[in-house]
Chains A and B, each alone.
Chain A
Amino acid sequence: MGDFPHVTPTMRATADFITETDADGSAALVLTGPLTVSALGSVDSRLRALEGPFKAVDLSRASRIDTVGAWTAWSLSQRFGAQIVGASPEAERLIGAISAVDDNTAPVEAPRLPLYLRVPQQVGGVMIGLGHGMLLVLGFLGQIVLAGGVLIRHPGKFRLRALVHQMELMGVNALAIIGLMSFLVGIVIAQQGAVQLRQFGAEIYTVNLVGRLSLRELGILMTAIMVAGRSGSAFAAQLGTMKLTEEIDAMRTIGVSPIEALVIPRLLATMLMMPLLGIYSAAIGIVGGAALSALTLGIPFFTFLARIQEVVPLHDVWVGLIKGPVFGLIVATSGCYQGLQVKSDAEEVGTRTTAAVVMAIFMVIVLDAFFAVFFSEVGWG
């Protein structure tokens, strides 16, 4: 390849200017040096500070010129009402091209309201947006119910393969991460519980703590949060990207309802897999607690598991199982809803995905609080 002496770093030549006054008192502005994008940046502010009048903008001492130089010369000549003189044929050509398109209109900038108007305007915009969003969510739920009705009347339209595929993606593929997380949470609960219960000499109640907490609350809650982060976000991003690439419009024109083909399988898969994942998570959490108890509390592993059967009432299992599909519904609905709301660009896919996860986790925790009150009122405390 040889060496390339002309590409060694060299000090950049800069443009400059001088003013010359004729015998008759009229001044000319003489631009010197290379009038190029790389050279004009440092001289531009001084040129802007110049005060006229000038009769001419002289380019005869410019060594090179590009469109930025041509623009500078042209805008100077416009500002001072000066003639451009001494331009090379190349400069003439460039200035000609620029003067041909410059329409002298002021730069277009979006009008900006004063602060005292902007704040109420934004607050109002957010409130109207919230109300509008509620209607959209209701509409979306309505679409799902309608599509569900269609599928019940025409079971042949149901997409079993898509359902199984989604169950694998959001359920089976999540087993490892949910298992690891639950195991660690089980260890933490057992360890922290044992520290507190030891003060009463009631370390054996660690079994009750780990068993009931895992089955009733933590198993399903942690699973819902993990599924929201793992699958709810994926739903939003997938559907959002499909919206941008017009795949969803293409489906509609072919006569395939995107709700039936995309939303229902995801929704059903999540609702079916959530209780299973929740029970799995609770079981692994109990194993984690048992492992820690065997190591540090001296409760043998299988004794711990046998005690679980005695101290955990069956309705704790039901509580976890009932919450599962509800949380699944929330996670999948918010993911699919936000994905289908994408309209403009790639950035919106990102914000919608974030919104899907935040909305899902928030709703799950709020509903979990309601469930806690409800189940204790009905006597499943």
Chain B
Amino acid sequence: MSDEGLLTACAVPPPPGSEADLFPIRVRGLKNAFGEHVIHENLDLDVRRGEILGVVGGSGTGKSVLMRSIIGLQIPEEGSIEVLGSPITDARDDDDIDIRCRWGILFQGGALFSTLTVAENVEVPLREFYPEIADDLRHEIARYKVLLSGLPAEATSKYPSELSGGMKKRAGLARALALDPELLFLDEPTAGLDPIGAAGFDQLIRSLQQTLGLTVFLITHDLDTLYEICDRVAVIADKRVIAVGTIPELIATDHPWIKSYFNGPRGRAAMAANERNAALGTKGQEA
């Protein structure tokens, strides 16, 4: 009806109860390689609707490459990837149906467009997919998204170079949430933040996930983030996902990397902190 002038239409949500609805991300038999160097081989992964899935793995195991494959930035050699029921592996830029309006992505450094203000950054996806939205409403949407991301109202008119690292991440989150997506991809959201800022960002992700009903794919090295907000954790090692489950389930397995990851000094400290918080009842303190 109001589709004239639109090159791409946003994909409609999959029907409730369908497999694509229960598992918004399904990866099967994924193989990624850079030349001779094989990153992933025969990698399978399912992400459940409404969960926060943490993805961990040693440096260079291809966590970011997995995310880039799922969002279509890296063309895999083999395997299939479905996001919300749409195949990513044979998607093209000129497809009629665009899955990209159903996800939001926060890159590691925020990846804000440096020549645009924060508010204009948030408006970019809105302009791209919904040009019929008038300026007034678009400005208002950008403003409350910035506020929802925990930035002050003054930040809307600032340029990325005027923001601190933590503020850039929040602004990047506001842009990722611009289209009210169902899926949120976060690449090391707490890396480079101070512990207070990181804890605040964890809480922000948790509360937004609950309020907006998001499914979150979260790459992290931060053990506190894993304990605090992740429903399940997927471990990448040996070129595939070797285990997916809650942290107690993972600790019960006897893979050496998982053992040393969760039972190392940092892992034990994070677990102790989590138990203390749970005992104090502060874990459920989301807004």
Which A residues have a C-beta under 8 Å from some C-beta of B?
1, 4, 6-12, 14, 36-38, 40-42, 44-45, 48, 66-68, 71-72, 75, 90, 93-94, 97-98, 100-103, 105, 107-110, 344-347
Known A-B contacts: A68-B137, A345-B160. Give 15 more (CB < 8 A).
A6-B13, A6-B18, A36-B180, A37-B126, A40-B137, A41-B130, A44-B133, A66-B212, A93-B211, A97-B207, A97-B287, A101-B148, A102-B147, A346-B114, A347-B115
Q: With A48-B136, A345-B160 as given contacts, are A94 and B211 in contact (CB-CB < 8 Å)?
A: yes
Tell me if B180 and A67 are in contact (CB < 8 A).
yes
Could you tell me the distance in whole angstroms from the C-beta of A49 to the nearest C-beta in chain B?
A: 11
CB within 8 Å for A103 and B9 given contacts A4-B85, A93-B211: no
Q: Which residue of A lies closest to B10 (CB)?
A: A38
Number of B residues near A (Cβ < 8 Å) is 52
Within the complex, the shortest CB–CB distance from A91 to chain B, in Å, comes to 11
B148 touches A67 (CB 8 A): yes
Q: Is the CB of B130 within 8 A of A37?
A: yes
**Pairwise interchain contact A67-B144, C-beta atoms closer than 8 A:** yes
What is the CA–CA distance of A114 and B64 in the complex, to the nearest angstrom? 50
**Residue-by-residue, is B244-255 near A (CB-CB < 8 Å gives 1, otherwise 0)?**
000000000000
**What's the Cα separation between A268 and B12 when bound, in Å?**
62
Nearest chain-B residue to A11 (Cβ)? Answer: B1
Which residue from chain A places its CB closest to the CB of B86 in the assembled complex? A7
> Interface of chain A, helix or strand or loop or mixed?
loop
Inter-subunit contact B156/A37 (CB<8 Å): no
Assembly CA distance A347 to B159 (angstroms)? 12
Q: B279: CB under 8 A from chain A?
A: no
Q: What 1/0 mask marks residues of chain B from 77 to 88 whose CB sits below 8 Å from any chain A CB?
A: 000101001110
- Chain A, residue nearest B85 (CB): A4
Q: Which of chain B's residues 30-68 have a Cβ closer than 8 Å to chain A?
A: none
Pair B1/A14 contact, Cβ less than 8 Å: yes
- Judging by beta carbons under 8 Å apart, are A6 and B9 in contact? no
CB of B139 within 8 A of CB of A107, answer yes
**Neighbouring B residues of A72 by C-beta, 8 Å:** 137
When C-beta atoms are compared, the residue in chain B nearest to A99 turns out to be B144
Give the CA-CA distance A88 to B244 in the complex, in Å: 34
Find the residue from B2, B97, B207 having the highest chain A CB count within 10 A: B2
B140 close to chain A: CB less than 8 A: yes
Known: A9-B9, A41-B137, A44-B133. A94 touches B153 (CB 8 A): no
